[in-house]
Structure 1
Amino acid sequence: MSVPVALPAARAWSTADPYATALRSGRGPLFLHRSDGWLLPLDIERWCAEPDMADRSVLSACQGPTLDIGCGPGRLVSALAGQGLPALGIDVSPEAVRRTRAAGGTALLRSVFEPLPREGRWRTALLIDGNIGIGGDPVALLTRVRRVLHPLGRLITESAPCGIADDLDEHSEVRLHDGVGAHGVTFPWARVGPAALNRHAAAAGWVREAAWTMEGRRFVRLRARRSAAR
């Protein structure tokens, strides 16, 4: 997937009124809604709360300047700032950027597929809370993130939670829905289990360094394969 193709999908979040409404209130319900009627609940309350134990395991693995891709309301960015670690959140939702800044974090209204500050110099990047699904093409996303990071940088990402098949590799068109009637525009999204994530990471030039599970959530830390690093 070329970068321009991914931009309209990313911008879909900025026009999804149910998402902005949920962020303003700090609570759901909010779902990803597939055309066949399937609904995936989104954990707005957790995203708007203080970092939990699983989040803290991610924060402890961050080293150096850190880029949080799809930062949402900014709980991780603001926590990193509180630890004195340089951190930037990017999100395509104006409300997410506003909340991140209000919480004491630094954030830009930006897609990961657009030019970013400090490209090639970030030491850690985060794709948490399902953000491996951005754009609906994990290989394209992981390839882009590798180019954003320093050649010796690390990516920490999260796969589908425990209880979901390891080999889940789903690519679909979804929209945001509040469970009542309000909904946003349709955009591509992906969900992957850890086995599928490993395959996509290898295809995009990554090597797995570590993996862990905390509070039912599954994480992996990746580094660029030497032959793929700039």
Structure 2
Amino acid sequence: MTAPTDTTRQQTPTPRRPPHQPTASDQPSDPATGAPESAAACGIRPCWSADPYTDALRSGHGPLFLRRSDGWLLPLDVERWCASADAADMSVLRLCEGSVLDVGCGPGRLVAALSELGSRALGIDVSQEAVTRTVGLGATALCRSVFEALPGEGRWGSVLLLDGNIGIGGRPGALLERCGELLAPEGLLLAEAAPVDVDERVEVRIDDGRGAGEPVGQSFPWARVGAPALLRYAAHAGWSRAAQWESGERSFLALRRS
């Protein structure tokens, strides 16, 4: 596969400035104390709190995979997630408008990079270790699913779905609709597609690939979609393409509500 360049099919979205700026008061509160909810107090989802995933984030490296029931392994790029934002990441982050919600923020490199760019950003992740690492970088994060109640709903300037997170929940259409609820009316959704033409929804488990036994934790639904499939789901959910480009062998789309 020939490595694509940053300029392939690139169109620059017209900047807009949605009104919401997240503050500490946006954070969900402990009902007993009224204090902002800490990562440690959050409920942990069993799939992404499985030991191999937590261990990989703590160590900063894999191997780590999603294993399908037929044994096929999807590598997870833990080393890149735990590093600083790279050139491909920055090609996305520089397009962000207003306050930014990073869905499935992982160990926090994107939220931290946005903070360095002067943007207000919040990461959400269902892994406590991911949230802990993000906060350790000086960024802001909550232990929350995208399908749970979130601060600033309907007021975010940009929402990020990178690093395969279009697969969250195994239903790309439902996830795109949810992102529409989170964004301001003219907000920007920045999504990463699989680098190949694929459209699959499967049940997977976390696996460290070491062959020491059965995959760990509960199975959970996941999806992989390439750019053509993502555009189909987006159109059905009321999104239109504002830009499409490739960088570092990764494929990205910017979407706005039609």
TM value normalised by structure 1: 0.90
Query: Would the aligned equivalents of 1:12 and 1:186 in 2 still touch at CA under 8 Å?
Result: no
* Separation of aligned partners in 2, 1:84 and 1:52: 17
Q: Which residue of 2 aligns with 1:100?
A: 134
- Spell out, residue by residue over 1:59-94, the C-alpha distance to the aligned partner (whole angstroms, 9 max, x if none): 111111000000000000011111211000000000
SS of residue matched to 1:11: coil
| Pairwise CA distance, 1:16 | 1.9
Q: Which residue of 1 aligns with 2:216?
A: 183
SS of residue matched to 1:208: strand
Q: Which residue of 2 aligns with 1:74?
A: 108
Match of 2:256 among 215, 219, 223: 223
| Pairwise CA distance, 1:12 | 4.0
Q: Which residue of 1 aligns with 2:5?
A: none
Match of 1:139 among 163, 168, 173: 173
Query: Would the aligned equivalents of 2:47 and 2:219 in 1 still touch at CA under 8 Å?
Result: no
Matched, 1:171 2:201: yes
SS of residue matched to 1:147: helix
State, as a whole percentage, how many aligned pairs show the same letter.
62
Q: 1:129 to 1:68 in 2, by over 3 A?
A: same
* Separation of aligned partners in 1, 2:236 and 2:54: 34
Query: Would the aligned equivalents of 2:48 and 2:206 in 1 still touch at CA under 8 Å?
Result: no
Alignment of 1:1-230 (within 5 A): 11-161=45-195, 164=196, 166=197, 168-180=198-210, 181=212, 183-225=216-258
* Separation of aligned partners in 1, 2:178 and 2:47: 19
Amino acid at match of 2:113: A
* Separation of aligned partners in 2, 1:191 and 1:12: 21
TM value normalised by structure 2: 0.80
Q: Which residue of 2 aligns with 1:3?
A: none
- Spell out, residue by residue over 1:72-130, the C-alpha distance to the aligned partner (whole angstroms, 9 max, x if none): 00000011111211000000000000000001110000000000000000000000000
Query: Would the aligned equivalents of 1:139 and 1:203 in 2 still touch at CA under 8 Å?
Result: yes
Question: Which structure's residues are more often helix, by fraction?
Answer: 1
| Pairwise CA distance, 1:205 | 1.0
Structure of higher CA gyration radius: 2
- Spell out, residue by residue over 1:159-212, the C-alpha distance to the aligned partner (whole angstroms, 9 max, x if none): 002xx2x2x110000001001235222000000011000000011110110000
Amino acid at match of 2:88: A
What RMSD, in angstroms, separates the aligned Cα atoms of the two structures? 1.1
Q: Which residue of 2 aligns with 1:6?
A: none
Amino acid at match of 1:134: I
| Pairwise CA distance, 1:17 | 1.7
| Pairwise CA distance, 1:132 | 0.1
Gaps of 5+ in 2: 1-43
